[in-house]
Amino acid sequence: MPVRIMLADDHNLFRAGLRRILEDNPELEIVAEASTGIGAVEMAREHKPDIAIVDVGMKELNGVEATAQILRQSPETAVLILSMHSDERYVLRAVRAGARGYLLKDSVEEGLVTAIQRMREGQAYFSPAVAKILQQSPDPKAREHDDSYESLTERERQLYQLLAEGLSNKEIATRLNLSINTVTTHRARIMEKMGVRSAAELVLSAVRRGLVV
């Protein structure tokens, strides 16, 4: 039985490149694709893929938050994060969210199929530069107790990213099917928890955490 794979990346050309690498292998089957983090969660819930290949920098819901939600919807799915970044803030957040693999995008051509094969066997897979970071971290799955971001609820994290991407309260309300009053209340709570007083400070805090680029 082929490995059932979901692709989630907001760049259509890059996603097409992933498809090209995988579709010639008879042991692999692409069962779903998504261009946003929210879409990835929905596709995972519907298709329950064996492996979800998730870009870390997607719009609406970044790959790390999407990973956590995907695993709640489909616990048997193994998540492979794709990223251009190998610095610690991205890697450790991905591991904490439950990702079983982390592959740098400049290694996709030669490493993607290997990563899938390893994960199919129940193993983890990390690009060499990423593995080095994990080896140097005393406890990569430890929570960041000193980071106020950790105090945000799942919904608040979703709104935090959308606010940081520049969406208005009305746009967020429409996107998430919420009332404007609900969004306004969430926004106030987010700003209080994050200790920011303006939209500019909120955006800067998200950029520093690697949630938006």
Q: How sure is the predictor about 136, in pLDDT bands with cuts at 50, 70 and 90? A: confident
37 pLDDT higher than 80: yes
Rg (CA), the chain: 17
User: Pick from 53, 129, 141: which is nearest to 86 by CA?
Assistant: 129
143 pLDDT higher than 50: no
- What confidence score (pLDDT) does residue 139 get? 56
- Which domains occur in the chain, in start order? 3-136 (3.40.50.2300), 148-208 (1.10.10.10)
pTM of the model: 0.76
User: Pick from 35, 36, 37, 48: which is nearest to 5 by CA?
Assistant: 48
